[in-house]
Amino acid sequence: MKSNPILKELIDWILHIAIAVLAGIFVVTFVAQRTIVDGNSMVPTLYNGDQLIVEKITPRLGKLKRGDIVTVYIPELLGEGKEYVVKRIIAMEG
């Protein structure tokens, strides 16, 4: 039985799209994510509407230090539709 070239091409496309989607999910979950500043609490460093790429590897390695800017998930402080707050580390234990 001959293989259908159109079917082979379709399977190839589906495989490549699936790999791209999985790679995107991996990057957003573990490596970096885009976010938008909402509010003026970080002026003059960051302004309302600024777009940021949040790098996620440093916190996982425990290499944060005083003065770093971080995003923090605090459900009690967030309004509807907000996910994270952007703040600067001013003190650390130890």
- The residues that are catalytic are 41, 87
81 within a domain of the structure (yes/no): yes
Res 83 pLDDT > 80: no
Q: Do 45 and 9 meet the contact criterion of CB atoms below 8 Å apart?
A: no
93 within a domain of the structure (yes/no): no
Res 70 pLDDT > 80: yes
19 within a domain of the structure (yes/no): yes
Number of domains in the chain: 1
Cα separation, 88 vs 93, whole angstroms: 15
Res 42 pLDDT > 80: yes
44 within a domain of the structure (yes/no): yes
pLDDT band at 39 (very low <50, low <70, confident <90, very high): confident
Cα separation, 83 vs 85, whole angstroms: 7
pLDDT of residue 8: 93
22 within a domain of the structure (yes/no): yes
Res 72 pLDDT > 70: yes
94 within a domain of the structure (yes/no): no
**Dihedral class, residue 35 (left if φ above 0, else alpha if ψ from -120 to 50, else beta):** beta
Question: What range does the domain containing 60 cover?
Answer: 5-88
Beta bridge partners of 36: 51
23 within a domain of the structure (yes/no): yes
Res 1 pLDDT > 80: no
Q: Which residue has the higher pLDDT, 45 or 79?
A: 45
